[in-house]
Structure formats: C-alpha cells, structure tokens
Structure 1
Amino acid sequence: MTYVQRLADCLTRLRKASMAALLALLVVSLFGIPFFSEPGSQVSRIVQDVLFSLILAAGVVTSKERPGVFPLIALGALIAVTVRCASWLFPADYTLAIRDETALAAVALIGATLGMIVFGPGKVTFDRIDGAIALYILIGMIWAYAYQLVNLRFPHAFSGTTLGPGPENSSTWIYFSFVTLTTAGYGDIVPVARQARSLANLEGLIGQLYPAIVLARLVSLHLAGGSSGTDKN
C-alpha cells in the first residue's frame, strides 16, 4: 500500500468518525443539555457554546472530502465561533442578530455539504445513514436560527408565548422548530407574520418528505446492499 493510499484510508476513517461524532454532538446539544440545565444560566450558555463549536469542528472535518467547498466551510465556522466568543464581551442586544446570522450561515453550509456526501454516488453505509440523520437534525437547527432572526426583525411575528431576545430563548426556538419539522403542532407557539408562516410551511413540508422518501430510501438501499448512485471506485 502506497503512502497516498494510506493517507486516503486515514482520511476516510476520520471522515466516518466525524460523521458519527457530529450526530452524537447534535443529539446531546439539542436534546440533552436543555433537559438537564436551566435555560438562560451561565453554565448552560457555556456548555451550549462549547458544543456548538465542536459541532462546527466535526462538520468541517466531515467536509474535507469536498476540497472545493472546504475552505469556505472552514472560514464560515471560524467566523461563527469567533462571533459567539465575542458575544460574551458585549450586550446581547448588540450581538444576537449577527451571532444567529453567522451561526445560520455556517450550519447551512455544513448541512449542504453533508447532503452532497450522504446522497452522492457510492455504496450506502452506516456512516451515510448517520449523516442522513444528522442532516435531518441540522435542518431543525437551521430553522431554529431562522425563526429567531425573523422574531428579531419582525416584532410579534409569533404569538402564544413570550419570546424576548437573548440567548436564553434558543431552546424555545429549537423546540418550536422540531415541533414544526415533525408536524406535531401543539399550538402553544403560533406564527403570525407572513415571513414566519412561510418558514413554518416550508419546514413542515420538508419534515414530511425527508423521512418518508430520503431516509427510508437510504435504509432500504443499505439493507439491499445497493448504492445511492454509480460507484466510481
């Protein structure tokens, strides 16, 4: 085995490990931490910021096999982490919008690249299934940032719950996003502005189509020993 082949194998193993790590970090950050910590506390914010940075790092490593977009993703992740760190030095009113905007951009870039990896040509393996699940969770995360930005730009865009600005409300937007994505629709938070309704409609549509068509297709192909396209290797 040549040095180039060994390096390629090492990068493949690293990418597979980063895919599983990304999924684990997303689950812990979005569903574990809010369950065990008090929203708005300093400890909760520190843990969330650390986990967010690790999520971006795992996403950057996962995107290494896409050299064309890797520098852009790495730059976006670096900017998002830098802004998040700087937000500790300034009042939330001055930093929340740019904090959410940079986070939305970085996560969206990682999600788009992850989609190309998961659904690209090649055999469907367990790491691709992990990536498909991680992508589904990333969609909910992306929409959570979008909802918070809409609420900042258009006051009273949502009704039913008091939703003031600040990092302490991030868990509420995560909750609303996944309620919409899974079309559970409890009704405690209602989009009122047309921008909010448009986002909610689009997320609900994705939430219906993604598991039924895409994720089920990947699992069935894996069980059948097939692939998601023409294997170029």
Structure 2
Amino acid sequence: MEIKDKPHVRYNIILLVLVFTYIFIVGLLPAGQYMNELYNLIFTAIYLVAAKIISRRKSRKFFVYAGITIVAMWVSAYFKLDFISILSSFISIIFIVVIIALMLIRLAKSKEVSLLEFVEAINIYFLMGIVASILFGIVFHYLPGESFNISSELINPNIDLIYFSFVTLSSLGYGDITPIDPIAKSLSIFVSISGQLYLTMIIAILVGKYLNKQNNN
C-alpha cells in the first residue's frame, strides 16, 4: 500500500465505524428522546469524514457542501416543519449520492486491490442503504395514506426504515414490512435492483483487478 493511500485508508475505516454504528448499534440502545439527536450527531460525523475522503488536497468545497447538509439537517430537527424536513432529506440524498459516485470512480480507477478498495466497497454499499432509508422516510412521512403494511403508530422511522432499506437492498424480502403504496413499491424495486447491480459490478471490478495483478506478476 502506498504511503499516500494511508490517510484514505484511515478515514475510510473511520467512516466504516460510523456507518456501522448508525446502522447496527444505535438501534440497540433504549428508546428515548435523545435518539434523533444521536442519529443526527452520527450523521454529522459521517458527512464530515466523507467530505475529508473525497476532498482533494487544499480543496474545501466538499466541506462547504457537508456544512450546508449538516445545517439543513439540524434546522429540520429543531423546527420540525415538513418543507424544511423534505428539503433537508433531498440535500442529504444529493450529498451522499455524490460521495458514492466519487468513491466508485476512485475504486474503478485504482490499479490494485488492497485494504482501501475493500473498505471503500463496503462503505459504498452501506451508504446506498442509508440513501434508501432516507428515500423511504420521505415516502413514509409525507405521502398521504399508509405507504407500508404497518401503521404509523407501530413503526419506528429510524430503526425500521433502516432495516427495511437493507433487507430490500440485499433482496432478502422477509415480508414483515411490505410497501402498499405504488410509489413505495416502485422505490422498493429500484433499491432492490440497485443493490444487485452494485454487488455484481463491484465483484467484477475487484476480481478483475486482482486477476490482472496476478497476471502481471
């Protein structure tokens, strides 16, 4: 591994720890009013670390984008207005999608398969699931009527939508939560196909680079 790649590895591992905590750990804590703030704090750290990963040397524009996203998220959490919440969600989606795209480009351009490539591939997959959970959250909160087969009183927007997003992304489909609204159904299909395409593509990229390196050796 080249010396110049070591900071990228370090920050990608930090990002992996943050998204792992967001997806798997926070939901295990006792429910309380602090949960939304905790999710937002972790999201804040995710945005800042992701901006560091994709920022070029001496470039600060992605930190500006991250700052805008963070401010929108906390303003939405404080004022609890539908318009601000929807706007914040879309800003978050755009920012994370840009992160995913730039990480994919870097992964595709890399000439070898190392720890950095594996960690980036995992981070991209986790970020895809987080984007899906935000999209499902928009459908759940702001579309009229029931979007899923579970009533609003019984579903936990943070935990259950993250769970449903990754179950859909991985095409497991346990059936305990199912979409009933046409938009929710279409979004579920899109997320499921995206997950399959990503796994197929990333395996082809990583295996291809590994075999190419072996042939060169």
Ranges in structure 1 where 5+ consecutive residues have no aligned partner: 1-7, 228-233
Distance 1:157 1:111 in 2: 31
Structure 1 CA distance for aligned equivalents of residues 17 and 138 of structure 2: 26
| Change over 3 Å in CA distance of 1:66–1:138 after alignment to 2 | farther
Where does residue 198 of structure 2 map in the other structure?
Answer: 210
d(CA) in 1 for partners of 2:30, 2:202: 31
Q: Which residue of 1 aligns with 2:10?
A: 17
Write the deviation string for residues 72-99 of structure 1: whole angstroms up to 9, x where unpaired: x333311111122223431354542223
Structure with the greater relative contact order (CA < 8 A, sep ≥ 6): 1 or 2? 1
- Rounded to whole Å, the distance in 2 between the matches of 1:66 and 1:191 is 44
* Identity, % of aligned positions: 21
Q: Do the aligned partners of 1:76 and 1:105 also contact (CA within 8 Å) in 2?
A: no
Stretches of structure 2 that go unaligned for 5 or more consecutive residues are none
Alignment of 1:92-131 (within 5 A): 93=82, 95-131=84-120
- The 3-state SS of whatever aligns with 2:128 is helix
Q: Does 1:144 align with 2:133?
A: yes
Q: 1:60 to 1:139 in 2, by over 3 A?
A: same
- Please point out which of 62, 67, 73 is paired with 1:78: 67
CA distance, structure 2, for counterparts of residue 218 and residue 208 of structure 1: 14
Q: CA deviation at 1:219?
A: 4.6
What amino acid is aligned across from residue 179 of structure 1 in structure 2? V
Counterpart selection for 1:155 from 144, 148, 155: 144
Give me the CA root mean square deviation.
Answer: 2.7
Query: Number of residue pairs matched?
Result: 212
Residues 45-101 of structure 1 show CA distances to partners (whole Å, capped at 9, x for unaligned) of 222111111111111011024989x72x33331111112222343135454222322
Moved over 6 A (4+): none
Q: What TM-score results when the alignment is normalised by the length of structure 2?
A: 0.84
In the alignment, what sits opposite 1:4?
none
Normalising by structure 1, report the TM-score: 0.79
